[in-house]
Copies of this chain bind each other. A is one copy, B any other.
């Protein structure tokens, strides 16, 4: 056991897997000698060698394409897209190729690749270092979409992803790398070391894909969240004084429908929180599912608290970011419904 922040946990997951399995290799822009712009791959090249952790050309499409080819050969590449905002040049390779290789070849060829990418706002990154494009992947059959919210999960989910035989996209909330962040941005930043989920085993373990976690049991209302928003939801519940049951989805596809239904059936109310643009965000799918499954238990409309339908604007970071005030307001409103 060690105390790790999220970057260290992610680094450790790759290190553990590179040590166990010679077919695991890591590449991406600036990930080699330098160790990545967020330092997630620091030391891996030095420890495992030049061909096992190396820099890639600035060509996200090429990075994913070569990873697919390696996967088809039999390797398990772990690739980094430097920011989720830069994943679009690789979109065709992910959607048309990685996602469909198994299906179209009847499992003759597969793409057991793991794509890690920092995502989300809260760091004054402006419109091209803040995006949350997860819904653009949850719509695509054949991709698993994973979003951790703490060091323990980050390592366990990443190892599970690397061992998974299907392509997995992991969005890492970059605002959480160095400490939990609940959206009270004027408060001093707390390090992970003060948080229980920074207790991370040194070696191999997994957090299963497809399993959500109830991070705060409650009886008034179910809050569905993931990534940074888990911490915001907890802060909002405290702020609103509402006994919310906060669920950290961890995996968006396949989503843990049982945990969701069980909770909403109990609480009869549901608030969904994500940072992404509202229209057609993953919150829409969650809302649709919840009302399909729990219609007769719902006592108020399901509410969504999300980023606005605009790009992420540099100067309005905290107005865009769905912080605890906005979430608390929704919690109160849903309790009145």
User: Could you list which residues of chain A lie within 8 angstroms of chain B, going by C-beta atoms?
Assistant: 61, 85, 88-89, 91-92, 95-96, 100, 103-104, 127-128, 135-136, 138-142, 253, 276-277, 279-285, 287-288, 291-292, 295, 298, 300-304, 308-311, 337
Given A89-B92, A91-B88, A280-B282, A100–B291 Cβ distance below 8 Å? no
Are A288 and B283 interface neighbours, CB within 8 A? yes
Contact across chains for B301 and A128 when beta carbons are under 8 A apart: no
Which residues of B are found within 8 Å of A280, using beta-carbon distances? 135, 138-139, 280, 282, 284-285
Residue in contact with A277 in the complex, picked from B128, B139, B292, B310, CB distance below 8 Å: B139
Chain B residues whose C-beta falls within 8 Å of the C-beta of A139 in the assembled complex = 135-136, 276-277, 279-281
Nearest-neighbour CB distance to chain B for A189, whole angstroms, equals 29
Contact between B138 and A311, CB atoms less than 8 A apart: no
The complex places the Cα of A308 from the Cα of B103 at a distance, in Å, of 14
Kindly provide the distance from the CB of A336 to the nearest chain B CB, expressed in whole angstroms.
13
- Give the 10 A-B residue pairs with the shortest CB-CB distance, closest first: A88-B92, A287-B288, A139-B280, A295-B301, A284-B284, A284-B285, A91-B91, A284-B288, A138-B280, A280-B285
Question: Which residue in B96, B103, B285, B287 is a CB contact (below 8 Å) of A291?
Answer: B287
Residue on B with the closest CB to A96? B88
Contacts A88-B95, A292-B302, A295-B301 supplied; 19 other A-B pairs, CB < 8 Å: A85-B96, A100-B127, A100-B311, A103-B310, A104-B311, A136-B136, A136-B139, A139-B277, A141-B308, A141-B309, A142-B311, A280-B284, A283-B288, A284-B287, A288-B288, A291-B301, A292-B301, A292-B303, A292-B304
